[in-house]
A and B are shown apart, each in its own frame.
Chain A
Amino acid sequence: MRLIVNGRPVDADPPGHQPLLDFLRDACGLTGTKRGCDRGECGACTVLVDGEPTLSCLALAHGCDGQSVQTIEGLGDVDAPHTLQEAFVAEDAAQCGFCTPGQLMAATALLARVADPSEAEVRAALSGNLCRCGTHPKIVRAVRRAAATLRTGDAT
């Protein structure tokens, strides 16, 4: 099978039953995508498949054949962060940080659909992404801050 991972084509032949999460973490070394529950309940493993937020622990790697997968590493990195990542830092929207990549990927999908999401829209879009540290207020603020930055066009 061939899929595009963070913009780069990857040819692989993973076991037929291998979840996308394991493929990304173990075969691709992309550990930014977290395993929080392995049963589609916590959202920590959220990635984008053809732009759609997807629980990678429930998706099969083979099911993504021919599709484009974006992980947190593809959103931006420490030396070239995405506007959303910068907003998360500015608003202190990561405490332990374990759910953060999933929150960011869900937020990325939201901002691709809605340029100026209301607080309620952000909450609805991210409600499948659990956070036990209780960072929710700052996550919502960070997403809206990033949306505002992206709208003014001076985004990175």
Chain B
Amino acid sequence: MTGPNRRFVSTTVEVEGRVETRVVEVPAVTLAPWDADAALTHVGARAQRVDGLLKAAGRAPYTTDLARPGMAHAVFVRAQVPRGRITAIDTTAARAMPGVLDILLAADVPARTRLFLPDVTYAGAPVAAVCAETLAQAEAAARAVRVTIEPGEAAITPEQALAGAPVRPGLTSNQSGGAPKVRQRGDVDTALATADVVLTREVRTPCVLHSAMEPHAAVAEWSGDALTVWESTQGIFRVRDGLAKALGLPVHRVRVICEAMGGGFGAKNYAGPHTFTAAVLARRLRRPVSCVLDRAGEQIDSGNRSSTWQRITIGARRDGTLVAIDLDAIIPLGIGGWDGGPGDLFHELYACPNVRTREAFVYTNTGAMASFRAPGHAEGAVGLELTLNAIAAELGLDPLVLRERNIATRDQKQDRPYTGNRLAECYTEGARRIGWHDRAGRTVRDGRLRRGFGVAAQVWGTGGGPPSYATVRLNTDGTADVLSGTQDLGTGTRTILAQVAAESLGHRLDAVRAVIGDTATGPYSGNSWGSITVASLTPAVRMAAEEARRGLLEAAAGILDVAVDALETREGRVHVRDTDRSLAFGEVTAKLGNVMIMGQGARGPNPSGTGIVTTGAQFAEVEVDVETGVVRVVTIVAVHDAGRIVNPTLAESQLEGGIIQGLGYALFEERALDARLGLPLNVGLHDYKIPTHADIPVIDGHFLDGADPLANPVGARGIAEPAIIPTAPAIAGAVADALGVEVSELPLTPWRVLGALDGASR
């Protein structure tokens, strides 16, 4: 998309709750948006997932399934203490074991990989890698490596970290930025002093683990000085650039491939120790090397959602109008990560002129956090919504009514309008679906089995943005390929790219194939994170397909001897309007031989001066056994406004998935740490309990009809992260409703439920 018509402009994009300004290229072509009334055939259809059968047949090629000729296997030796200095590593016994090919220590790897550093800063840190002919041999030899670590003082809790020495070399403060991150609009103190009602609550949320079914994995193979890495990742280009930088390679010598991947949820955004280890060993051994985390490694050392302590103060008028929201929070990041905290949501979910958040992000000697589906927002929603419920009770207002009175009609973070926000309709439709207004007859507050209802809301920036590129080409038989350097995490990206291309070409869906997941074949597209893939990439696909369609029409016009304007495309045929003359795409391309019809598409900038968000509300009905403390979620109703839904079936799958992860967050999931060693105690999927088939409620997930033509030319926004944000607070609110007792800490295990009842009866 270069040429005389290109321009470069600044635009704001929101990624994982962070607003960034970037310089972007404005494409020469602008597309007329598909508005809500656009007559579309493939977009909006319940098309089957194009790789569904491949997955159901066990034939989808995951990184962990690769078996390259001569492939060796690498595993890590991990530190068992949280802090200390490696004084010796004895590999003699390990090297003599069967099948052992190589052992990597710090001296064997480029410094930029930061692998196997002598300073141990968390339990579970890799200190060496052992490579052998088979995985079993590598695992056996890894157990024979003797590591001597002189223990140091560790800070496991944020309190210890704030009082102690730096948790890792190079830090001057264990607090990110050296001080709490404070953001304020208006004057919170004055507003609280004059509010009719002011309540303060303390809420704790747990550290939870992504627990993707496919662990982090890389297979590396060199061909001369060129490196190919297969990686289970959410971002092939980020992995490529990370590898090039760490290994000191020119980018064009590195190719990263991800054909199928078994879940990421935020933990698989970058090249990691396993990636570098596979690449370095493959070069040393001159053979392919696979490095796959074992389940314990995956749970200990691949990221987590930070726990939070939140103290929330809300001031309101008698009629329920919010006048001030104040948050104090402590967020332990572990040994690294970024400042993804609960505060952001407090500034945008409800209309409120005075908001202050003070977040202390604290480094500790535990595993680093990583983005986990709606990082910060999922945590913040628990504190904000539970405190709002307390305000509703204090004022004698229905919790839904209180929320409806405080809808944020503008983007208060940046003082600008939204392209669209139909949260009010989400409340109304959700209330209708769960029978909110006649719930009194179904609420049970005595006897053994209590029943209650809860509601919570959500906002998440889902505008996406540039850069994101796609190429659409027509093959000699008239079929089409969509090429883009994106990847499909299981969200259905392949399918929706094919749908948008088929729509724009006027083609049959089964004649379009999305070729993705390879940095060597697809133009750049960003990480699949932040619920931005659809909004970022589908406009580029549409532009590319429309350009290809123009080329096809010009060629067809020549063959049919009519003007281009007289032609239209439908279901793989070029029709001469108002006649019965037509040509199949393949008949046109056959005349072209190997002359290629190809379109290039680039994502244009977002509209300036507007916020683009997905909003929604979820309602929970729960049953609580007050003798055992067991909570059973009966029903979740979810209604979201995400603009145009490209594929309702796939969108519902993601919505249900977010809700079920949110249910785990509400009821079961919590990383347990040994208080002294900082070592996670529940590193398996038995002890770390994620939801199973037995735990699943009735889920009624619904998207409002419509489109957001102001946001982008496809009119679509994201849904993956919005889905999880309100679930846990809706469930917690419902539990509190059933018990008639406030709850303040997740997960709501039987122990905590009984504790809440016990505390109330004292």
Closest to A90 in B: B48
Contact of B56 among A31, A41, A85, A131 (CB under 8 A): A85
Q: Chain B residues near A86 (CB, 8 Å)?
A: 53, 56
> Does A71 sit at the interface, judged by CB under 8 A?
yes
Q: Is the interface of B mostly helix, strand, loop or mixed?
A: loop
The reply on B321 being an interface residue by CB < 8 A is: no
* Inter-subunit contact A72/B685 (CB<8 Å): no
Q: Chain B residue with minimal CB distance to A124?
A: B694
Whether A132 pairs with B58 at a CB distance below 8 angstroms is no
Report the interface size for chain B: residues with CB under 8 A from the other chain: 57
User: In the bound complex, do residue A95 and residue B657 qualify as a contact, i.e. CB atoms below 8 Å apart?
Assistant: yes
> B740 contacts the other chain (Cβ, under 8 Å)?
no
In angstroms, Cα B58 to Cα A122, docked, is: 21
CB pair B52–A71 under 8 Å, yes or no, is no
Contact A42/B693 with A78-B57, A85-B57, A92-B650 known, Cβ cut-off 8 Å: no
Is B213 located at the chain interface by the 8 A CB criterion? yes
* Contact status A41-B685, CB under 8 Å: yes
Q: Are B58 and A72 in contact (CB under 8 A)?
A: yes
B65 → chain A closest CB, angstroms: 4
| 13 contacting pairs across A/B (C-beta < 8 A) | A32-B59, A34-B214, A36-B213, A36-B215, A41-B686, A88-B52, A94-B56, A96-B263, A97-B262, A124-B694, A134-B657, A138-B656, A140-B696
From A31, A76, A139, contact of B693 by CB (8 A): A139
Chain A residues lying within 8 Å of B211, measured Cβ to Cβ, are: 132
Q: In the complex, are the beta carbons of A96 and B56 less than 8 A apart? A: no
> Is B432 close to A, CB under 8 A?
no
A56 sits at the interface (CB 8 A): no
Residues of A in contact, count (CB < 8 Å): 61
CB distance from A65 to the nearest CB of B (A): 20
**Nearest 3 pairs between A and B by C-beta?**
A32-B58, A96-B490, A97-B55
Contacts of A96 in B (CB 8 A): 212-214, 260-263, 489-490
Q: A55 contacts the other chain (Cβ, under 8 Å)? A: no
Residue of A nearest to B659 (CB): A134
- In the complex, whether B67 has a CB less than 8 A from a CB of chain A is yes
A151 within 8 A of B: no
A38 at the interface (CB under 8 A from B): yes
Known: A73-B58, A97-B260, A123-B696. A132 touches B53 (CB 8 A): no
Contact check, B55 vs A100: say whether CB atoms are below 8 A apart: yes
B19 within 8 A of A: no
Which residues 673-716 of B sit at the A interface, judged by CB distance below 8 A? 684-686, 690-694, 696, 699
**Which residue in chain B gives the minimum CB-CB distance to A125?**
B693
Given contacts A133-B263, A135-B657, contact A104 B56 (CB under 8 A): yes
**Contacting A37 at CB < 8 Å: which of B59, B210, B265, B685?**
B685
Roughly how many angstroms separate A124 CA and B134 CA in the complex, as a whole number? 36
Whether A32 and B693, one on each chain, are in contact in the complex, defined by CB atoms closer than 8 angstroms, is: no
Residues of chain A with a CB closer than 8 A to B260's CB = 96-97
Contact B213 A38 (CB under 8 A): no
Q: Which residue of A lies closest to B62 (CB)?
A: A98
- A79-103 toward B: CB 8 Å interface, digit per residue (1/0)? 0010011101110111111111100
C-alpha spacing A88/B62, complex, angstroms: 19
Please, which residues of chain B bring their CB within 8 A of the CB of A89? 48-49, 52-53, 56
Q: Is there a chain A Cβ closer than 8 Å to B443's Cβ?
A: no
Which residues, 17 to 42 on A, are CB-close (under 8 Å) to B? 18, 22, 25-26, 29-39, 41-42
Contact flag A81-B693 (CB < 8 Å), given A92-B649, A99-B213, A134-B656:
no
Give Cα A96–Cα B654 distance, bound, in whole angstroms: 11
Asked whether A36 and B295 contact (CB < 8 A) given A71-B58, A96-B213, A134-B656, the answer is: yes
Across the interface, do A36 and B214 meet the contact criterion of CB distance under 8 Å?
A: yes
